[in-house]
Amino acid sequence: MDQLDELLTCRLDFRRRKAEPCSIVIFGASGDLTARKLIPALYHLFTEKQLPDPVRIIGFARREKSSEAWRAELKAGVEAFSRTKRVDGRLWEAFATCIEYCQGEFSDAQAYAKLAGQIAGFEHAALKQNLLFYLSTSPSQFAEVAEHLSKAGLLKRETTEPGWQRVVVEKPFGHDLLSAQKLNTELTRFAHEKQIFRIDHYLGKETVQNILMFRFSNAIFEQLWTRQSVDHIQITVSEKIGVGSRGGYYEEAGALRDMVQNHLLQVLALIAMEPPVSLEAESIRDEKVKLLRSIRPLHSSQVATSIVRGQYTAGEVDGQPRVGYREENKVRPGTNVETFVAARFLVDNWRWSGVPFYLRTGKNLPLSASEVRIQFRPTPNVLFAAQCGTKLDANAITLRLQPNEGITLRFNGKVPGTSLQIRPVRMHFSYDSEFGAYTPEAYERLLLEAIEGDATLFIRRDEVETAWSIIDPIREGWSNRSLSNDEFYSAGTWGTVAAEQLLAASGHTWRNPQPVS
Ligand code: BG6
């Protein structure tokens, strides 16, 4: 890197709120998310001195166990799942002194009284007043936990007393618009909307945050970001994994609820939204909601022509055999749940009118990759285009969200030599080569923001409800219709033939993510 570039680094978060000492209570402490994501993230924040000092972490769960036993489990989890793997013995010991366990049923008022007693026993006043409740439970328990916390005096809505309390909730936030509205109504009885932090972990990813920086700090790209220059946009989130041990959950969710309602629509909102009036959380969230509201609503009768679903059958991924979805554990025989979705959305606003947004996601696909491709219009049909026809590649910008995080610009160049030949070439920006391999995990960023009370990276009530209102008609369009033969794809392929046809109807083709060597 040119030394000058470093001098040009512009810091935007100098007014960032300070993380005040607080207690973090994790409900669902025995779960997978706690061991794989939450504790490794808190451990890294601790080792980097980003957690407030002092801090306490209390795990609340049903199983009977001592704090020592829980700490030992967590250490094994950090060793297995943390991004740095090696756990520093001394740092872990220091971190472990901040961790305690509280055994209790979510429905038992006594257990909350015990939790309140545990918190009241902390010496530092801020540890008793500043409380972050992380609900890593099933959504059906969110309201119950919040109500008990409120009754135990731990969660106060709009209080003038010193300190703060916040509730972080994991997805899925409801299973349709009605259930999400109900959940919101129930939660807001006990906590103000400002105290509720709905997680979508995609927003914690560096590359997803970079979408706004890329768009609004680069004049040359922002000018191209309109229907005048853009032909269409493709958002692909493909996964090599199948549903594995999550069959039970997946039977209720399916790819549409599990991925499209949240992660893909969030990425779409960031890619397409208008510039916010400021960098404040509410300004950014206002624009995202506005964009989601501009997505042309589909009537359930139009679903077949705009949305394609698929389910994997047995096949191979990376040479490894995979069973079909219907053969997975805890999956109903003959189930019609989708493991793949491809969609065409239109955004009815001034900037994007007429530009298709193609979204696709699926399990057991050939490659794990999340990327956004901005496909520009072809050149006019004169000069080179007149001679090459469709062989002359149109320009594209690909934002590689993961893995091989980076951005690629694709344009045409002359093949050196005495003959006249043109072919596409690429300009790559790679996070690794520019900034080194360090990329914090999404949960590190999200936990820190929740502790600091910055809601920018969390989903607001109207946002989650608008997203459901886009998804509900699609589900309705599918309901009571069994999967037909062409709605299956073999594991290890890029989804159904119908997904190809969805784009072919407008003369487009999917550009599959390519492995980067
Ligand atoms: C989760 C979904 O929200 O996101 C999973 O429930 C999916 O089904 C996961 O595998 C993908 O996240 P990432 O960060 O691995 O792309």
Q: Is the pLDDT of residue 517 over 70?
A: no
* pLDDT one-digit tens code per residue, 450-468: 999 999 999 999 999 999 9
Q: Would you call 169 helix, strand, or coil by DSSP?
A: strand
Helix axes 39-47, 442-452, angle to 10 degrees: 70
Sheet strands (E) in 351-393? 356-362, 369-376
Q: Give the span between the Cα atoms of 60 and 131, in whole angstroms.
A: 14
- H or E element in which residue 67 lies: helix 67-81
* Other beta carbons less than 10 A from residue 246's beta carbon: 18
Question: At 159, is the pLDDT very low, low, confident or very high (cuts 50, 70, 90)?
Answer: confident
Q: What is the pLDDT of residues 414-455, one digit of tens each?
A: 999 999 999 999 999 999 999 887 677 899 999 999 999 999
- CA 88 to ligand 1 centroid distance, Å: 28
Mutate to test the pocket of ligand 1, among 138, 205, 239, 360 (most ligand atoms within 8 A of CB): 239
Choosing from 263, 299, 428, 508, which is the catalytic residue? 263
CA distances from 165 to 21, 24, 188, 332, 420 (A): 12, 10, 13, 41, 67
Return the best residue to mutate from 259, 260, 401, 444 for the ligand 1 pocket (most ligand atoms within 8 A of CB): 259
Distance 505 CA to ligand 1 centre (A): 30
Q: What mean pLDDT do residues 218-245 have?
A: 96
170 C-beta closer than 6 A to ligand 1: no
Say which residue, 514 or 200, is predicted with more confidence: 200
Active site residue 263: yes
Decide whether any atom of ligand 1 lies within 6 Å of the 200 Cβ.
no
Residue 436 has a pLDDT of 85
Can you tell me the mean pLDDT for 262-281? 97
User: What are the tens digits of pLDDT across the range 58-84?
Assistant: 999 999 999 999 999 999 999 998 887
Residue 302, pLDDT score: 87
pLDDT for res 141: 94
Bridging pattern class, strands 356-362 and 340-346: antiparallel
Using most ligand atoms within 8 A of CB, pick from 258, 328, 371, 443 the residue to mutate for ligand 1: 258
Query: What pLDDT does 472 receive?
Result: 96
The pLDDT value recorded for residue 300 is 84
Residue 480 has pLDDT above 90, yes or no: no
DSSP assignments along 273-333, one per residue: PPPPSSSSHHHHHHHHHHHHHHBPPPPGGGHHHHEEEEEEESEEETTEEE--GGGSTT--T
Q: Is 115 helix (H, G, I), strand (E, B) or coil?
A: helix
Task: Give 469-479 pLDDT, tens digit per residue.
Answer: 999 999 999 98
Q: What is the mean pLDDT of the chain?
A: 94
pLDDT class for 151, splitting at 50, 70, 90?
A: very high
Q: 423 forms bridges with which residues in the sheet?
A: 413
Tell me the residue ranges of DSSP E strands in 115-176. 131-135, 165-169
What residue owns the CA closest to ligand 1's atom 8?
A: 258
Least confident interval from 158-162, 472-476, 500-504: 158-162
Work out which ligand 1 atom sits closest to the CA atom of 239: 10
CA of 37 to the centre of ligand 1 (A): 12
Query: What tens digit of pLDDT does each residue of 390-401 get?
Result: 889 999 999 999
Indicate whether 3 pLDDT > 70: no
| Closest ligand 1 atom to 250 CA | 8
Q: Which two tokens stand for residue 436?
A: 């080194």
Token pair 């994997």 is found at: 312
